[in-house]
């Protein structure tokens, strides 16, 4: 749905499978998260993302932005004609790309696995959209990210969505008008940030 929404905004969407046909399935007792993440960690996602960025650049792409969500769900590369490109992946992969400036702008929505030290090393404009009820990136951590970024020379935008929980921007009840409104607002913030810098 998110890929379709971004495509409707004029982007061309390509969706590689970062998980090689094995997304995390919570109810699979023989493959708990600690075992699954060993084979599908953000470090591997980062290496895969670099290969795709290289491939895009070899085709003449000159500007790439990245949007990242938690790790374990659906991720898509999204490109737009006219040399404007957007990569949607995990928040940890996005911050790693932002630390080495392989992209021109970054957005993280309900991030996971991202640390204060990661944020200290960001070199490109970054937006962080957090949730009020998030155990993986609680508001206190997101506020630390904001303070670090404000003290740096990197342009940033940090927002915490009230009454939202981890995953609200991609996993929400379409019959819940408040949840839909928050997700739509986050998607719009993401698109505006990337349009500003990519």
* Reduced 3-state DSSP string for 77-116: EEEECCCEEEEEEEHHHHHHHHHCCCCCEEEEECCCCCCH
Helix (H) or strand (E) holding 157: strand 156-165
Distance of alpha carbon 11 from alpha carbon 187, whole angstroms:
14
Distance of alpha carbon 91 from alpha carbon 70, whole angstroms:
6
pLDDT of residue 77: 36
- Cα angle vertex 29, ends 27, 33, to 5°? 80
pLDDT of residue 52: 86
Query: 14 pLDDT band (50/70/90 cuts)?
Result: low
User: For 80, phi and psi rounded to 5 degrees?
Assistant: -125, 145
The answer, yes or no, to whether residue 76 has pLDDT greater than 60, is no
Domains and CATH numbers, the chain: 2-197 (3.40.50.1820)
The answer, yes or no, to whether residue 128 has pLDDT greater than 90, is yes
What percent of the chain is modeled with pLDDT above 70? 86
Closest CA to 70 of 143, 191, 167, 4: 167
Q: What is the 8-class DSSP label of residue 11?
A: -
The answer, yes or no, to whether residue 135 has pLDDT greater than 80, is yes
Query: 15 pLDDT band (50/70/90 cuts)?
Result: low
Q: What is the 8-class DSSP label of residue 1?
A: -
Among the residue ranges 161-165, 169-173, 183-187, the one predicted with the least confidence is 169-173
The answer, yes or no, to whether residue 163 has pLDDT greater than 60, is yes
The answer, yes or no, to whether residue 81 has pLDDT greater than 50, is no
Give me the chain's average pLDDT, please: 84
The answer, yes or no, to whether residue 78 has pLDDT greater than 50, is no
Q: What is the 8-class DSSP label of residue 137?
A: S
Q: Which of 17-31, 66-80, 144-158 is modeled with the greatest confidence?
A: 144-158
Rg of the chain over all Cα atoms, to the nearest angstrom: 16
Q: Which residues contact 109 (CB under 8 A, 6 or more apart)?
A: 67, 68, 69, 91, 129, 169, 170, 186, 190
For the beta carbon of residue 79, count every other beta carbon within 10 angstroms. Answer: 18
- pTM of this prediction? 0.86
């Amino acid at each position: 749905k998110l890929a379709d929404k971004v495509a409707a905004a004029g982007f061309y969407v390509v969706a590689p499978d970062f998980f090689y046909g094995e997304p995390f399935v919570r109810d699979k007792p023989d493959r708990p998260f600690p075992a699954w993440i060993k084979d599908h960690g953000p470090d591997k996602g980062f290496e895969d993302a670099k290969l795709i960025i290289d491939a895009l650049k070899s085709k003449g792409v000159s500007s790439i932005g990245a949007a990242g969500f938690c790790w374990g769900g659906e991720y898509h590369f999204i490109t737009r004609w006219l040399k404007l490109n957007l990569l949607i992946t995990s928040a940890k992969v996005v911050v790693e790309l932002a630390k080495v400036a392989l992209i021109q702008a970054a957005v993280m929505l309900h991030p996971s696995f991202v640390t204060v030290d990661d944020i200290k090393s960001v070199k490109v404009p970054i937006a962080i959209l957090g949730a009020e009820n998030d155990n993986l990136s609680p508001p206190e951590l997101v506020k630390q990210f904001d303070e670090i970024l404000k003290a740096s020379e990197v342009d940033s935008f940090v927002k915490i969505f009230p009454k939202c929980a981890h995953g609200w921007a991609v996993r929400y009840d379409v019959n819940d008008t408040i949840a839909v409104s928050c997700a739509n607002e986050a998607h719009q913030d993401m698109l505006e940030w990337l349009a500003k810098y990519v």
